[in-house]
Structure 1
Amino acid sequence: MEAVKEAWERYAAGRKPRRAVNAAGATTWLNWTQYADHGPDESLLGPVRGRRVLELGSGAGCNLAHLATLGAECVGIDIAPSQRAKAEARWGGTPGLTFQTAEATEFLTNHPDSFDVVLSIFGPVWFTDPTTLLPLVRQSLAAGGVFAFSHKPPQADQKPVSPLREARAVSRWDYPTHQWAALLASVGFVNITTHIIEPPDSEREGTLLVRAER
């Protein structure tokens, strides 16, 4: 686990901070894709005001901060301590928003039935064995809770599990949409939707987006 934490710390050190405003002039926003000002927004999650929200791999906290400004009670966890420091430096004092340093499976194990929404944007869902993680996510959700995540879609010649280029200690679960749907159904999720968000015109690679309910 220490090797994984150190790998994510190295990765975090090279990340640039998100812009102060987006193309629409907003100071907070949620972005599911790897492209700026592209793809769906938080409406995928349904109404969030008054709901308990957990982000796995919250990084510098920008996506979660947006949900907090909409009235959600938000907790963000990240395995890299420096990410918590960045998040608190930028978003500390935002009502309804807290950050913790924690590994996803350990945190979820200790928080059954604690959240109405769990999300992961290019986060631990992509980097944790789903046979371990998915049952824990479902356990952490209240009845009718929403689970949503995104990551890059697998390439045709890519193995299901491959090393993350930026962090060699970390494995990546590159599953296509139908395989994610089957895995989610196998642990009891319902109302599962999966699709690929088409990329901007200047790009070739889309974004895999999955939503399910307990």
Structure 2
Amino acid sequence: MSVRHDLGIETDVWNAYAESAFKDDAEPVFCWTQYAGHGPGPEVLGETPAKVFEIGCGTGRAVAHLAGRGIRAHGLDLSPVMVRKISEKWASTGAVFHQGEAISYLRATDETYDAIYSIFGAAWFADPLQLLPLVRERLSPGGVFAFSQPPAIPGAYGPQGMYKGGFAGKPMYTYRYSYTPRRWKSLLLNAGFRTAEAEVIDAPTAGHIGTLLVRAEA
């Protein structure tokens, strides 16, 4: 099943998110899960990545964290509002931010990276049949692609529409993509990755929503 993304509407969605999610007092931090301080850290990207790229970087905190460690860290976000805010906020760290849609950007660029990653970002909101082969092409040999997002709701797989901002007024919506860990592994291997693994990290509180973490090597 395929869906048609409306970039105008989706840009409005993420511009609205930028206005609410960006905090002037935010600090650099890298966390794969939705629970602060829980789960693995940047080591998932490999031992010594020199150049990394976050697709759907949101508030830019993870990119700034990596840049502060001396890594050439770039981020991409669809929202021009967010990119303007984070470019100013994290300028002192050396982080570099770009505005654009992940699939179109990866298709147009000739840059390569030691690691590409997404934390509740573009890997959740872009068609994997288009995204994954492009990510593979933009990775250096042996490079890592890793992403996290909520695990799929049982029985609800594939693209799923999601309204933002309530159910009245001008419609703002996007699509997110959810699959089982086994299906993610299959999608990655079919896209040309050498290895792929996927797991659900348990929440710090028993019975709460975990985090799907997926990692593949080129």
Fold similarity call, TM over 0.5: yes
Of stretches 156-165 and 98-107 in structure 1, the one that deviates more from structure 2 is 156-165
What is the distance in 2 between the residues matched to 1:18 and 1:182?
A: 40
What is the distance in 2 between the residues matched to 1:56 and 1:77?
A: 5
Q: Provide the aligned length of Structure 1 versus Structure 2.
A: 206
Deviation at 1:192, TM superposition (A): 1.2
Instruction: Find the residue that maps to 1:14 and give its secondary structure.
Output: helix
Aligned to 1:14: 20
Aligned to 2:168: none
On the 8 A contact 2:118/2:147 being kept in 1, the answer is yes
**TM-score normalised over the length of structure 1:** 0.89
Aligned to 2:4: none
Work out whether 1:200 is the aligned partner of 2:204.
yes
Aligned to 1:83: 82
On the 8 A contact 2:31/2:38 being kept in 1, the answer is yes
The percentage of aligned residue pairs carrying the same residue is: 36
After superposition, residues 62-211 of structure 1 pair within 5 angstroms as 62-95=61-94, 97-112=95-110, 114-166=112-164, 168-201=172-205, 204-211=208-215
On the 8 A contact 1:56/1:124 being kept in 2, the answer is yes
Closer, same or farther in 2 for the Cα pair 1:19/1:180, shift >3 Å? farther
What is the distance in 2 between the residues matched to 1:184 and 1:18?
A: 37
Closer, same or farther in 2 for the Cα pair 1:169/1:211, shift >3 Å? same
Deviation at 1:19, TM superposition (A): 6.3
Closer, same or farther in 2 for the Cα pair 1:159/1:211, shift >3 Å? closer
Deviation at 1:172, TM superposition (A): 0.9
On the 8 A contact 2:119/2:147 being kept in 1, the answer is yes
**TM-score normalised over the length of structure 2:** 0.88
Closer, same or farther in 2 for the Cα pair 1:151/1:18, shift >3 Å? farther
Task: State the AA in 2 paired with 1:209.
Answer: L
What is the distance in 1 between the residues matched to 2:72 and 2:185?
A: 28
Q: Which runs of 5+ in 2 are unaligned?
A: 1-6, 166-171
